[in-house]
Structure 1
Amino acid sequence: MSTLVWAITDGVAEIALDDGKVNALSEQMLDSLLAAIAEAARADAALLIYGRAGCFSGGYDRKLIAAGGPACDAMRAAGDRLTLALLDYPAPVVIASTGHAMAKAAFLLLLADYRIGAAGAFNIGLNEVAIGMTMPDAAMPQARARVAPQWLNRCALQAQILNPEQALEAGFYDELATGGDLLDRAREKARQLAALDRKAYRETRLLLNAPLRAEVLAALG
């Protein structure tokens, strides 16, 4: 079963993640995602990323994290490349979070231009500390830059898991939608952003993301 499908329609590249489970961001999934993003960038298409119903993604593959070693390092390196690819993307980036979004998946939300979350009994959060991980050096600047200040301590340090309404307040989402309306609303938003002057959008986006990009690169060494 393919873990990712994508297509470009009317100037919007849609990337759907679906591994039949929790959309774990394995090295394979990340490489496929990076390849699709690169193709979409070459087409100068706006980008819409979403997951399977009920789960955007559970984050990195927990089995690889537990095992450590070269495979885990390769997965993390692919995740860092994805961070930079999203920061550098030359067109609008919209994410429709179709349910749970944990750890690395929650960081992806922070990198998008507009995020629409599914309303319902879903968990969103940076749970690294709760599972015994120190927040990665390159991840902390993302949290500081994009999580609302009054929520930063609770999210990054205390690993508080948020419901969609709290995630909206904390800055992971820009709006919420019911499951049946989520993708329609996300497609509408992607088309709306794609209609803005592309040169102005691209150059302003790069300016907006430049300080965070520099911090991430410095942390990666």
Structure 2
Amino acid sequence: MQQAVQYELNDSIAVITIDDGKRNAMGPAVLRSLAAAVALAEADAAAMIIRGRDGVFSVGFDLQVFARSNPDEIHEMVHLGAELALSLFTSPIPLVTACTGHAYPMGAFLLLASDLVVAADGPYQIGLNEVAIGLTLPGFAVELARATLSPPYFQRVITGEMLAPSEASRAGYIDHVVAAGELEGAVRAAADALIRVDVAAYRATKTKVRGEAAARIRAAIDEEITVEKYRMRARR
């Protein structure tokens, strides 16, 4: 069976590929594998690339987990996703993400947490569609979107609107849109450029730029954990 998350180290750049052979849904097992790959990259590499499979970056959280209506399983999945997004948002090494296709939450959260996102042009949908499918956007995701999306597009998460790559670049999900055949080269060139930046300056500046937002994301995660613990006690 193909592993959904693959890791490769190439000339000091870690390449993490999400490819389950389907739609790259992110359930607890995939999220744990991604977190482990990111930790390995931060220990081994000067920069990392995260990419999906052709046509799909990720359809986001595994909706089958929501459908099973097990509160503990749902909480675990969302919490793992929140911690992964925060770890990428504050990562000590540069992160370039190759958006290879559709990016729904949790996939869109990974885009927002990146330093640079290059997307393949195509008939793809990118965004935070929770409201459109009857879900409430988690607090950590609200703070992540607040920190990264342009104000008009941040307000549009209220309706769960999805965007084509060109508009997603105006919103703040994506930095560059290229032809699909040019994606790998553009992503590698971006990562090669980032490994040449001064590491100390990068880390210090990233902390100054993202520190306040990271604190808000952390607080939102902790608040939701506290609320869930209260609900679990109430169910007993």
TM-score (norm 2): 0.90
Partner of 1:198: 199
Give the structure 1 partner of residue 214 of structure 2. Answer: 213
> 4+ residue stretches of structure 1 with deviation over 6 A?
none
Alignment of 1:112 with 2:114, yes or no, is yes
SS of residue paired to 2:49: strand
CA RMSD of aligned residues (A): 1.1
Residue type matched to 2:34 in 1? L
CA contact (8 A) 1:51 1:96 kept: yes
Taking the aligned partners of 1:88 and 1:188, their CA distance within structure 2 comes to 22
5 Å-filtered alignment, 1:141-152, equals 141-152=143-154
Contact persistence 1:8–1:45 (CA under 8 A): no
Question: Matches of 2:176 and 2:221 in 1, distance apart?
Answer: 32
Residue in structure 1 matched with residue 234 of structure 2 by the alignment: none
Equivalent pairs, count: 220
Contact kept? 2:3, 2:20, Cα under 8 Å: yes
Higher Rg of the two aligned structures: 2
Structure 1 residue 44, shift from structure 2 partner: 4.1
Please tell me the residue identity of whatever aligns with 1:142: L
Q: Report the CA distance between 1:74 and its aligned residue.
A: 1.3
Deviations 1:183-206 (A, max 9, x none): 110011011011111111122112
Cα distance between partner residues in 2 of 1:79 and 1:68: 18
The answer on 1:7 being equivalent to 2:29 is: no
Residue 142 of structure 1 and its aligned partner are, at CA, apart by 0.9
> Do 1:143 and 1:152's aligned partners in 2 also have CA atoms closer than 8 Å?
yes
Number of the residue aligned with 1:158: 159
- Say whether the 8 Å CA contact 2:150–2:171 is kept in structure 1: yes
Cα distance between partner residues in 1 of 2:32 and 2:10: 22
Contact 1:44 1:90 in 2 (8 A): no
Q: What amino acid does structure 2 have at the position aligned with 1:179?
A: A
Identical aligned residues as a percent:
38
Of the three residues 75, 78, 90, the one matched with 2:77 is 75
Q: TM-score, normalized by length of structure 1?
A: 0.96
- Structure 2 unaligned residues grouped into runs of 5+: 223-236
Aligned AA (2:67): A
Q: Which runs of 5+ in 1 are unaligned?
A: none
Check the 8 A contact 2:9/2:45 in 1, yes or no. no
**Residue aligned with 2:139, SS:** coil
For 1:182, the equivalent position in structure 2 comes to 183
**Which residues of 2 match residues 14-163 of structure 1 at below 5 A?**
14-69=15-70, 70-154=72-156, 156-163=157-164
Per the alignment, residue 170 of structure 1 pairs with: 171
Distance 1:140 1:195 in 2: 33
Shift of 1:68: 2.9
Q: Quick one: which amino acid aligns to residue 106 of structure 2?
A: K
8 A contact 2:79–2:221 mirrored in 1: no
- Counterpart residue number, 2:226: none
Q: Distance in 2 between matches of 1:134 and 1:73?
A: 13
String of CA shifts for 1:163-210, please: whole Å, max 9, x gaps. 011101111110101111101100110110111111111221122221
How many Å apart are 1:161 and its aligned residue? Answer: 1.1
What are the Cα deviations for residues 123-151 of structure 1, in whole angstroms up to 9, with x where unaligned?
11100001111111111111111111121
Give the distance between the partners of 1:220 and 1:78, measured in 2 at CA. Answer: 10
